[in-house]
Amino acid sequence: MLGSMADQNPFGRMAEPEDIAGGVAFVASDDAAFVTGQVLSVSGGLTMVG
């Protein structure tokens, strides 16, 4: 089942913990100090597939 999910992702793989950690680090950083009310999709492009 996980193999078929990875095949559907434009990156051709499932997310690794490091992939998610990058998004979390950004949201928790000063770089995101002026960001409000956004959804950060860390899906490797899966949510963009029609």
pLDDT of residue 7: 80
Residues in Cβ contact with 2 at an 8 Å cutoff, skipping those fewer than 6 apart: 14
pLDDT of residue 47: 74
Give rounded-to-5 percent helix, strand, coil for the chain.
50, 0, 50
Residue 48 has pLDDT above 80, yes or no: no
* pLDDT tens digits, 3-36: 677 788 888 888 899 999 999 999 999 999 999 9
- Cα–Cα distance measured from residue 23 to residue 20, given in angstroms and rounded to the nearest whole number: 5
- Cα–Cα distance measured from residue 24 to residue 37, given in angstroms and rounded to the nearest whole number: 15
pLDDT of residue 17: 94
Higher pLDDT, 47 or 1: 47
Instruction: Sketch the domain layout of the chain as residue ranges.
Output: 2-43
Running DSSP on this structure, what letter comes out for residue 34?
T
pTM, rounded to two decimals:
0.67
